[in-house]
Amino acid sequence: MPKDEFDFDDPMELSGVGFLTEEDTTDAMCECFIEEFMRMGYNHKQVLALFRNPYYLGMNMVLQNRGEPFVRDRIGEVFARWGKKVEWRVLDPAKCGDLPSTQSQSERPVTSMAANEWDSNLTDPTGGAIPKIKL
């Protein structure tokens, strides 16, 4: 059978199935998206941009349902788990006041960094060191 035709009887044909559930899987799905792109080399700002992109349906759904602060917190947590630094620029309302949008506004960095030990003998499938996470 040619590659461009779908054969419903082919047991090796890739197919996806959606399941309705009452369980909220948004947290796990969000962390999975973040870790997947982080391990492919995306930084925290690029990952956030993917959540904002409406063509990434699952990621954008998380952003729409939970909001950007939730997504930023999750990105910080996942990156910290892997020992990667995250620094967000957020507006400081105490310094901004009621400035018009044309004026510059004061910003303060918000950082997140894991305090994990690294074992150089252990590596993940991509060749990176695996952190020893203390729970």
Q: In the prediction, which pLDDT does 87 show?
A: 86
Indicate whether 10 belongs to any domain: no
Q: In the prediction, which pLDDT does 115 show?
A: 45
What does the pLDDT look like over 65-97, one tens digit per residue? 999 999 999 999 999 998 898 888 765 555 555
Q: In the prediction, which pLDDT does 121 show?
A: 58
Boundaries of domain holding 120 = 26-132
Indicate whether 33 belongs to any domain: yes
More confident residue, 12 or 57: 57
- Spatial contact of 50 and 35, defined as CB atoms under 8 Å apart: no
Distance (Å, whole) CA 106 – CA 104: 7
Distance (Å, whole) CA 61 – CA 73: 16
Distance (Å, whole) CA 2 – CA 11: 16
pTM exceeds 0.75, yes or no: no
- Spatial contact of 86 and 75, defined as CB atoms under 8 Å apart: yes
Q: In the prediction, which pLDDT does 9 show?
A: 81
Number of domains the chain contains: 1
What does the pLDDT look like over 47-72, one tens digit per residue? 999 999 989 988 999 999 999 999 99
Indicate whether 108 belongs to any domain: yes
Indicate whether 115 belongs to any domain: yes
